[in-house]
Structure 1
Amino acid sequence: MSNMEDEYDFSHPERGVAVIINNEAFSTPGQEESDDRAGSSHDAEALDTMFSGLGFEVHRYDNLTSSAMVETLTAIADMEIHSKSDCFACAILSHGGDDVIPDNTPGAVLLERQDYVLGVDSGVVLVASMISIFSDTRCPGLEGKPRLFFFQACRGTNMDPGVGVKVRKTKVNPDVGPPREGDGAEQTDHKDAEEGNVDIEDSNVETNYDSDIDNTDSIPLRPVLSVSPSNINKDILVMYATPPGFYAWRRDTGAWFTQSLRTILTPYNATYWSLTTLLTHVNKRVAVWYESSYPGDTSMNEKKQVPCITHMLTKDVYFRPKNMKHSTLV
């Protein structure tokens, strides 16, 4: 456990607001193929449960256009509740990608990479622009408080083929924290094949797939080359489903990343473990337990994914219950 002075102050009257923007319906009349993000509603429900369990006041919005996304986040930033809150959280579930613009700095030879997500009208919203809405200047009620952003969206069109390894242990347990009564109820109950988890013994690997097809959250505007990461500000954490330039995988039952978040960030785990420790376990769960199932297309079959965390937090984050004092913990 950390010392109180090493933690953000979570003694405010409110935990804070958590915003979920779930963009699922992208179909355009007359299109032969649908761009809908099947299964995203399961992710929105999972995140709603997760944030509520952590004490947040959850605001969920479905199928927003790009302008509505900006307007909604701006209105949230203007809420008075932030001044009496511990923190702020935001989860965006949508199609996405990256683009590259020239660096206009005199003498610069590099390009600047920009992550974006799409509204259901296929309009582009830059990730950096959304984060800036909750900066100290634009949202002073959150000054000095952690602001947490989670993005379930592609960041390009590259794919991770994974690396074959030789291990002796046949199962990987992604759970975090001491065992407790009812712990199993907090975990997702999928078959091994559905989770992408396979038994491995020495170098013999046998993988079985069911009919649950994996999809991606990418509608790229055009091929681009990623060069530099997006910048963030102090007291901000951003977690992406995937590294820069890569696909983010999703199933009809939910996305690898968001379902893993729900499994790991339980109220119990978040009380006894710091947020960054838990998110590292989310990375491990996605990387080890999942593998794409895309029968008929070898270029997209048996691919891997690992989330990406970037932050400028200056203290630890613990989601302890409001009636639980730090001094009572051992």
Structure 2
Amino acid sequence: MDKAQHNDIDPQTKDEESCDTQTDALPSLTTILGKKKVNGGKSKHHNFADKLLKYKMDYPNTSERGHVVIINNENFHWTTGMNSRKGTDADANNLSRLFNKLDFKVGVYRDQTTTDMMEIVKQMADKDHKDYDCFIMVLLSHGDDGKIYGTDGLVEIKKIVDSFRGESCPSLAGKPKIFLFQACRGTKHEVPIKPSGDTVDSADVVDSKKQNETVVDAAVKATIPSGSDFLFCYSVAEGFYSHRDTLYGSWYVQAFVEVFEEELINKGKDNAEKMDVLDLLTLVNYKVSLRSVERTRNPDAIGKKQMPCFLSMLTKKLFLTPKK
């Protein structure tokens, strides 16, 4: 379970049963938000949008926002049948650089077995996070139905995520817990269509002098656990391939780093205070949607697209304004 250190690589713009149920009566917005006396004593409901709360992001540890764990699996035992994930080090380096700039304490773990991965999960879940604002885990690997690959086999995603629920990790209860998955979630390519009445920018041209190509990660179909204050970020929608450039890293991580750096760091604190994480992830989705496969060994993949997605169980707005 060695911790790997990498040199920074700049990102480039170039992967039910049916039943009868009864529900309790819901409290009105008046009950939840209260009333405000205006205009000579008349009642007026508070504007709901104005009452949306923000996550507390100024816990006592003023220098570090929280822990980021990046599990970066490139090489796999032959018995798994998984190919090497060339280009994943670029993703790990770029994400590490980004989160360091955002005042996180980053740990990068390379080529971890299933046992190693669960040991890292246990160590992080057992930590006392009371002085930190949030927690982030990034999984760069191949995947399968509801599972993610260690170098020697599969780990259930639900088992990883459940370790950080309130009952298992009480010091993170009520705090944002973000999981980022760079892996395929199926075996289909997104096909390009022409938007109606709209135009889009063309995808960036790949430098022909670089010996890069676009490949895909094996599929992951994540099982989403219940619980609040989780945010799941997927490199691709369920059922589709996730593209990874063998030289510059995955399309998704490239866009993620570029958007977060530009909006939270390069444009300054005033802009960062206006852009919550869901706004940023929507920009990431848009940026990835503009790209198409240009260089690959599979001619059938030429021109194919990718569409990321995210699933939010956050209960408040989340802002990652740099603390320093």
Please give the TM-score of this superposition, normalised by the length of structure 2: 0.74
Name the CA shift for 1:168/1:7 in 2 (closer, same or farther; >3 Å): closer
Residue aligning to 1:326: none
Match of 2:251 among 249, 256, 271: 256
Tell me the secondary structure at the aligned position of residue 6 of structure 1: coil
Matches within 5 A, 1:197-216: 212-216=212-216
Q: Please say if 1:306 is aligned against 2:310.
A: no
Q: Does the 8 Å CA contact 2:219/2:241 hold for their aligned counterparts?
A: no
Tell me the secondary structure at the aligned position of residue 59 of structure 1: strand
Matches within 5 A, 1:132-171: 132-165=162-195, 171=201
Letter of the aligned partner of 1:118 in structure 2? Y
Provide the rounded CA distance (Å) in 1 between the counterparts of 2:323 and 2:173: 21
Q: Does the 8 Å CA contact 2:251/2:288 hold for their aligned counterparts?
A: yes
Provide the rounded CA distance (Å) in 1 between the counterparts of 2:323 and 2:98: 16
Q: Please say if 1:243 is aligned against 2:243.
A: no
Letter of the aligned partner of 1:90 in structure 2? M
Residue aligning to 1:193: 205
Q: Does the 8 Å CA contact 1:241/1:307 hold for their aligned counterparts?
A: yes
Shift of 1:169: 5.4
Shift of 1:68: 1.0
Letter of the aligned partner of 1:68 in structure 2? D
Residue aligning to 1:13: 60
Provide the rounded CA distance (Å) in 2 between the counterparts of 1:79 and 1:244: 32
CA RMSD, aligned part only? 2.8
Residue aligning to 1:202: none
Name the CA shift for 1:242/1:209 in 2 (closer, same or farther; >3 Å): farther
Q: Please say if 1:23 is aligned against 2:24.
A: no
Q: Does the 8 Å CA contact 1:161/1:304 hold for their aligned counterparts?
A: yes
Provide the rounded CA distance (Å) in 2 between the counterparts of 1:231 and 1:293: 36
Tell me the secondary structure at the aligned position of residue 77 of structure 1: helix
Residue aligning to 1:42: 90
Match of 2:277 among 250, 275, 278: 275
Letter of the aligned partner of 1:265 in structure 2? F
Name the CA shift for 1:254/1:276 in 2 (closer, same or farther; >3 Å): same
Q: Does the 8 Å CA contact 2:75/2:111 hold for their aligned counterparts?
A: yes
Shift of 1:320: 2.1
Residue aligning to 1:205: none
Q: Does the 8 Å CA contact 1:294/1:302 hold for their aligned counterparts?
A: no
Letter of the aligned partner of 2:218 in structure 1? S
Residue aligning to 1:118: 149
Q: Please say if 1:54 is aligned against 2:112.
A: no
Q: Does the 8 Å CA contact 1:235/1:313 hold for their aligned counterparts?
A: yes
Residue aligning to 1:95: 142
Q: Does the 8 Å CA contact 1:270/1:278 hold for their aligned counterparts?
A: no
Tell me the secondary structure at the aligned position of residue 154 of structure 1: coil
Structure 2: which 5+ runs fail to align?
Answer: 1-48, 266-270
Shift of 1:9: 0.5
Structure 1: which 5+ runs fail to align?
Answer: 99-114, 173-190, 196-207, 221-225, 324-330
Q: Does the 8 Å CA contact 1:128/1:232 hold for their aligned counterparts?
A: no
Compare CA radii of gyration and give the structure with the larger one: 2
**Aligned-pair identity (%):** 32
Name the CA shift for 1:76/1:170 in 2 (closer, same or farther; >3 Å): closer
Tell me the secondary structure at the aligned position of residue 310 of structure 1: strand
Tell me the secondary structure at the aligned position of residue 84 of structure 1: coil
Shift of 1:293: 2.9
Shift of 1:240: 0.7
Provide the rounded CA distance (Å) in 2 between the counterparts of 1:239 and 1:144: 19
Q: Does the 8 Å CA contact 2:285/2:307 hold for their aligned counterparts?
A: yes
Q: Does the 8 Å CA contact 2:166/2:172 hold for their aligned counterparts?
A: yes
Provide the rounded CA distance (Å) in 2 between the counterparts of 1:166 and 1:295: 29
Provide the rounded CA distance (Å) in 1 between the counterparts of 2:223 and 2:67: 27
Q: Does the 8 Å CA contact 2:272/2:319 hold for their aligned counterparts?
A: yes
Letter of the aligned partner of 2:178 in structure 1? L
Provide the rounded CA distance (Å) in 2 between the counterparts of 1:168 and 1:237: 30
Q: Does the 8 Å CA contact 2:158/2:225 hold for their aligned counterparts?
A: yes
Q: Does the 8 Å CA contact 1:155/1:247 hold for their aligned counterparts?
A: yes
Name the CA shift for 1:192/1:167 in 2 (closer, same or farther; >3 Å): farther
Shift of 1:192: 2.1
Name the CA shift for 1:164/1:34 in 2 (closer, same or farther; >3 Å): same
Provide the rounded CA distance (Å) in 2 between the counterparts of 1:21 and 1:229: 19
Letter of the aligned partner of 2:258 in structure 1? T
Shift of 1:229: 6.1
Aligned length: 265
- 1:128-174 deviation digits (Å, cap 9, x = unpaired): 211111100110000000000100011121211121336775747xx
Provide the rounded CA distance (Å) in 1 between the counterparts of 2:122 and 2:284: 29
Provide the rounded CA distance (Å) in 2 between the counterparts of 1:219 and 1:88: 25
Residue aligning to 1:104: none
Tell me the secondary structure at the aligned position of residue 44 of structure 1: helix
Letter of the aligned partner of 1:258 in structure 2? V
Tell me the secondary structure at the aligned position of residue 25 of structure 1: coil
Mean Cα deviation higher: 295-304 or 305-314: 295-304
Letter of the aligned partner of 1:61 in structure 2? Y
